[in-house]
Structure 1
Amino acid sequence: MSNSSRTRSNRTIAGLFFVISKAVHASPMFKMSAEEPEEPIGSAGFWWKMIMSMGLVLLGGAFAGLTLGLMGLDELHLRVLATSSDDLKEKKNANKVLRLMKKGRHWVLVVLLLGNVIVNESLPIFLDSAIGGGVAAVAISTVMIVIFGIIPQAVCARYGLQIGAASAPLVLGMMYIFAPIAWPIAKLLDWVLGNDENNTYKKAELKSFLQFHREGAEPLRDDEISILNGVLSLNEKKASEIMTPINDVVTLGSDTILDHKHVDIILTSGYSRIPIHEPGNPTNFIGILLIKKLLSYDPSQGLPVSSFPLSILPEAKPSISCFQALDYFQTGRSHLLLISENPGEPHGALGVITLEDIIEEIISEEIVDETDRYEDNRHKRRAKRQSTAAIMRGIVEREKRRWSFNSYGDNAAGTDTPRTSSRAPTPKPTPGREPLEITRLLPIDEHFKVPL
């Protein structure tokens, strides 16, 4: 831009200020006698004071924006970012702001407000000397604040962490400069209002907080939210709320003869642990019979239950929390706990809980295995199987295959194939020979419901 163009531009802007000033002075609303400007409009002193005024407005907007940005940052959120953020720059910024806030949150607030007050009180001095006082100064300062004051505040409110971290050294320097005034006021605020340190969420707030994470950059699945809510509720839930009533528990007396009939009852029950009680006293339990002890047992021997070694059967009051029960199960001493009104005494049995019951409370769903009768132990409702469309993705199950042999005994069919592959044509059985049906052998524990 040439010198003549700049001169014309300066004259135009100066003319605008002159017109605005004269219009305001000529307004009927202008009733106060305004002071005459000290500097002629368009002079170097005039432009210097106008630039200083705009700078003060920008600085005031920055102070107000920092007040909004820094005071709006949650300290707990900053600690989370400082310890677990994947963005190294974000983690560094959070640490900078945290170090500043540890000097005193009220101290930072007082310094920013004090700086804003100084700027706002200095602005009329420059405007009065440039364009005179009265309504003209008010009108022009209002326009300047709208243009140069709101934008910094909006930017600081939007990028509070980044701008707060960048300006932390400047704010810290101002804190020491204004310490004789700001520090006593901050301590007075600490004494009157208290500190806002160590703010944490309550469990109910955390549960609501999780619900808001169904959407976003990394949304939580419904199952993840249910599991987290289940864990948060575990310590508040009592064992009596999830136990299986003693009347619904499969038990045996120590004098019961394990013949074919009783062994069939045990196997069809689907349980891997059976509580054992004293003969004739179904409330006095003495231990647990592990079904795996019967693997090599021949029912034709007709031995009583007392002939087998029994595992420990721990007892507890119904008031213990599910977390206490889980802590005990984690010791490995037992995965079944007897709930009794009088633990250690031969009466008062109310029910049992297992590790499976605890896990079901955590995941908020019934665990339905291959041998379950699909019942909810507490409410006696049929447990619903989940839809396998999404669950079975990436999982292969082998199915039953039918094999047939020709008259010479040769194998006429292929080997087992996963369900996900193309199905081989089934060969026709040779006349006079029944097809042999072969199933995959499962580990013995998979034939029983295992209350872990």
Structure 2
Amino acid sequence: MAVEYRCCEASFFIHIGIIVLLVLFAGLMSGLTLGLMSLSLVDLEVLAKSGTPQDRKHAAKILPVVKKQHLLLCTLLICNAASMEALPIFLDSLVTAWGAILISVTLILLFGEIIPQSVCSRYGLAIGAAVAPVVRVLVWICFPVAYPISKLLDLLLGDGHEALFRRAELKTLVTLHGNEAGKGGELTHDETTIIAGALELSEKKVRDAMTPLSKTFAIDINAKLDRKLMQEILDKGHSRVPVYYEEKTNIIGLILVKNLLSIHPDDEIPVKNVTIRKIPRVPGDMPLYDILNEFQKGHSHMAVVIKQSNLIQQTSNNVDGVDLRLDIDSQKTNEGSMKTTNPIRRWKSYPDSQNTYRSSSRGKKWSRDAEASVLQIHDAPLPKLNEDEEAIGIITMEDVIEELLQEEIYDETDVQEDQ
């Protein structure tokens, strides 16, 4: 009688232990389903590369496990379902049928769903990294059943779940991370403004940042550098001044103000006798990123914006050691003037024979022949453009940087004028 009682008591405690293990196992599977599946591969890659040292370790352990998300999901759900289905079997031997149902529902709901998912939703990364070896073993155990189901899900739903943000969503996300949003973000106002400006730059065109020709200071190539003109150039405070021929809409080049330091105003030297540099011509619908890439090459930090819009630019396909120059087809008219038939017909790649590409600690720079960018007008007639190729504005690197910063850049002359 005592032996039978002891056997029943031992069987009772064994059943209780199994029930506790089943509830804990079901809770773990339920919590991991929420904790691991809520972490996208993009989130884990970001944490693995730029998170805190602890988050990097956890993300590195979890990444191999969640790489096949459908296989992991099937494994966790199969294990969770098996433990919940086995629980009433062991409870039925201890209590009545209705008691087994009531207790199993209560245990599963409280300790198998609510508490585990609440904990794993907050500490899913740490818990997932701790039980990653156990999950690997479960994947192999459930592989014969979970693998066919996961492959079917891959075929029906696709195997890519990388939740990359769109440009507008990323801009909003950056704004929410600013300290001005009041959500604990670390980004300052200037940082969020610059990031937002960089994201918007691809949507803006040259016409959005250019200075209209009516507000542009330019000088006639036939003018003389007398005291009045020199003083006017000095008062404007620009480092580069566009040069036009006959009409202001026909801008043919630019002069660097620093090159005028050696000229005496009393000599009244004609503008065409000083060094006039070539100036690129770009359409108004050219993306700002493309013009910024051209400015970075150092050929010119100023460009003329023309009316023509049906032009093709391919400025982003340049490679190291190749210089992109403007391919201009020109022909002489009967009057002896040079007429440009298509001033920016295409961007064409030429082997870099004169330009040498080199890198330094501060980035990539061009070392080129200075004479290649000088406008030769002594022995050649001046160009006269068609009506649809006339200038409508000027754009400089400073204009593009202002669009990037989304703020005006004031130099010393601007400050003096404002005062």
- The TM-score normalised by the length of structure 1 is 0.71
Shift of 1:47: 2.0
Aligned match of 1:289: 255
Match status 1:246 vs 2:213: yes
1:391-430 aligned at under 5 Å gives the runs none
Q: Deviation per CA, 1:420-442, whole angstroms, max 9, x where unpaired?
A: xxxxxxxxxxxxxxxxxxxxxxx
Deviates more, 1:44-53 or 1:244-253: 44-53
Query: In structure 2, what is the Cα distance between the partners aligned to 1:349 and 1:152?
Result: 68
Deviations 1:347-391 (A, max 9, x none): 42110111111111111111112201789xxxxxx8xx9xxxxxx
1:332 counterpart (282, 295, 298): 298
Rounded to whole Å, the distance in 1 between the matches of 2:46 and 2:115 is 29
CA distance in 1, matches of 2:241, 2:126: 63
**What secondary structure does 2:249 align onto?**
strand
Q: Number of paired residues?
A: 336
Alignment of 1:234-383 (within 5 A): 234-278=201-245, 280-342=246-308, 344=343, 346=385, 347-372=389-414
Residue 90 of structure 1 corresponds to 55
Q: Is the 8 A contact 1:40 1:46 kept in 2?
A: no
* RMSD between aligned residues: 2.2
Structure 1 residues 116 and 353, CA gap change in structure 2 (3 angstroms): same
Q: Distance in 2 between matches of 1:230 and 1:319?
A: 18
Does structure 2 conserve the Cα–Cα contact (< 8 Å) formed by 1:39 and 1:129?
no
- Partner residue, 1:78: 44
Q: Following TM superposition, by how much is the alpha carbon of 1:120 offset from its aligned partner in structure 2, in angstroms? A: 0.6
Gaps spanning 5+ residues in structure 1: where? Answer: 1-37, 376-381, 386-452
Q: Distance in 2 between matches of 1:317 and 1:138?
A: 76
Deviation (angstroms), 1:217: 5.7
Q: Residue 128 of structure 1 aligns with which residue?
A: 92
Secondary structure of the 1:371 match is helix
1:148 aligns with 2:115: no
SS of the residue corresponding to residue 414 of structure 2 reads: coil
The amino acid that maps onto 1:272 is: S
The superposition leaves residues 311-347 of structure 1 with CA deviations (integer Å, 9 ceiling, x where unpaired) of 1201111111111111011001110011112462714
CA–CA distance in structure 2, aligned partners of residues 289 and 137 of structure 1: 93
Tell me which amino acid in the other structure corresponds to 2:40.
Answer: D
How far apart, in 2, do the equivalents of 1:39 and 1:312 lie?
Answer: 105
Q: CA deviation at 1:63?
A: 0.6
Q: Deviations over 1:40-65 (max 9, x none)?
A: 99822112212211211111111100
> Do the aligned residues in 2 keep the contact of 1:39 with 1:46 (CA within 8 Å)?
no
* Aligned CA distance change for structure 1 residues 43 and 321 (closer, same or farther; 3 Å): same
SS in 2 for 1:297: coil
Greater fraction strand: 2
Q: Is the 8 Å Cα contact of residues 41 and 130 (structure 1) preserved in structure 2?
A: no
Residue 214 of structure 1 deviates from its aligned partner by 2.0
- Is 1:114 matched with 2:156? no
The CA distance in 2 between the partners of 1:54 and 1:173, in whole Å, is 21
Q: Is the 8 A contact 2:40 2:162 kept in 1?
A: no
Percent identity between matched residues is 40
Question: Equivalent of 2:22, from 23, 45, 56?
Answer: 56
1:213 corresponds to which residue? 177
**One-letter code of the match for 2:169?**
E
8 Å CA contact 1:41–1:131 kept in 2: the answer is: no
Listed one character per residue, the Cα deviations across residues 207-256 of structure 1 (whole Å, up to 9, x for unaligned) are: 11011112466511111100000011111100011111111111111110
Q: Offset at 1:146?
A: 4.8
Q: Deviations over 1:249-298 (max 9, x none)?
A: 111111101111111111111211111112x2322222101111111211
Structure-2 separation of matches of 1:248 and 1:298: 28
Report the AA paired with residue 84 of structure 1: S
Provide the rounded CA distance (Å) in 1 between the counterparts of 2:240 and 2:187: 37
Stretch moving more, 114-123 or 92-101 = 92-101
Specify the alignment match of 1:222 in structure 2. Answer: 189
Q: Deviations over 1:65-121 (max 9, x none)?
A: 010100111221110111122x3231121112111122x100000000000110011
Q: 1:24 matched to which residue of 2?
A: none
1:111 touches 1:182 (CA, 8 Å); kept in 2?
yes
Indicate the SS of the match to 2:224.
coil
Matches within 5 A, 1:148-167: 148-149=111-112, 150-167=114-131
The 1:349–1:97 alpha-carbon spacing in structure 2 relative to 1, beyond 3 Å, is same
Asked which structure has the greater CA Rg, the reply is: 1
Shift of 1:151: 2.6
How far, CA to CA, are the matches of 1:141 and 1:41 in structure 2? 25
Equivalent AA in structure 2 for residue 159 of structure 1: Y
Tell me, yes or no, if the aligned pair for 2:40 and 2:161 is still in contact at 8 Å.
no
Aligned to 1:378: none
Which residue in the other structure is 2:323 paired with?
none
Alignment partners' CA distance in 2, 1:314 and 1:146:
71
* Separation of aligned partners in 1, 2:109 and 2:148: 34
Alpha-carbon distance change, 245 to 205 in structure 1, aligned in 2, over 3 angstroms? same
Q: 1:21: which partner in 2?
A: none
